[in-house]
Amino acid sequence: ILIVEFAKQAEEEGMTAVDAAINAAKTRLRPILMTSFAFILGVVPLMIADGAGAEMRQALGTTVFSGMVGVTFFGLIFTPTFYVACRWLADKMRALMGRQTPAT
């Protein structure tokens, strides 16, 4: 969400949608990684659990660990990509609506 907000703000300041999305992703990279890694490393004890019920905790820990790694990676890649795609589509729709002749 913050990547989109930062990109919108940068675009209002005169950047292109692509440059704004790249700039926003770079700006938010460190906070996103720090938050994600804190959570990811927090589930490592579940992954290496032993004792009674360890199989269930290991399965849960592995699933959560893998899911967070994937979501972090895909979020950093796809959020700016979808922002640019949506801005492009909105611009095309706006241009199309502006070119239509009024009905008589």
pTM: 0.74
Which pLDDT tens digit goes with each residue over 63-101? 999 999 999 999 999 999 999 999 999 989 988 887 665
5-61 confidence digits (pLDDT tens): 999 999 999 999 999 999 999 999 999 999 999 999 999 999 998 888 899 999 999
pLDDT of residue 36: 95
CB of 64 within 8 A of CB of 46?
yes
- Count of beta carbons in the 10 Å neighbourhood of residue 83: 22
The rounded percent of the chain whose pLDDT value lies above 90 is 79
Please state which of the four CATH numbers 2.60.120.260, 1.10.1060.10, 3.40.50.280, 1.20.1640.10 is assigned to the domain occupying 2-99. Answer: 1.20.1640.10
C-beta separation of 35 from 49 below 8 A: no
